[in-house]
Amino acid sequence: MVRLEKGRLPMSHETCDRCDKPLRLCTCGAEQKDTLAELRRLAEAATPGEWRANLIKCQVETAGRDTIAQTFGLRVTRDAQFIASADPATVLNLLDVVEAAKGVLALLQGELGGTSHEVDTLVVALAALEGDEGRGGR
């Protein structure tokens, strides 16, 4: 199993040593749990409050105009908008949804014996929500 240093989330090209899936889609358990816990820790430690994209300055700011991030490159507007949309409250809400969905899946697996095709489909769908498959936007 690939282990990540504290404070670092998996890169899209990294794969699990056990199942050979991208780490963000790995359903082996430990690495996924560590990644979600680390993302929660980082969100809780980040600057609280609403973040806004200042497209004139190509940066992300708090409502009080403190700079969170400066964007550079060909996609500064899109990058600033994306970073602003991923403020800590939004990330924490998404993590809560993932945890709730995992609880529902665990109940379904228990009731259906974990062998149902429908449960397997839900597990794959949840893994996709947690990983690269969900990039289509909001």
Question: What is the tens place of the pLDDT at every residue in 17-76?
Answer: 677 777 666 666 555 667 888 899 999 999 999 999 999 999 999 989 999 999 998 899
Total domains in the chain come to: 1
Residue that the structure tokens 């990058």 belong to: 79
For residue 12, is it within any domain?
A: no
In a domain, 105, yes or no: yes
Domain hosting residue 63, numbered range: 48-132
pLDDT in tens, 94-136: 999 988 888 887 777 677 665 556 666 666 777 766 664 444 4
In a domain, 94, yes or no: yes
pLDDT at 79 over 50: yes
Q: Per the domain annotation, does 100 fall within a domain? A: yes
Helix (H, G, I), strand (E, B) or coil at 54: strand
Contacts of 58 (CB under 8 A, 6+ apart): 70, 71, 72, 76, 77, 80
Of the candidates 44, 50, 9, the one whose C-alpha atom is nearest the C-alpha of residue 132 is 9
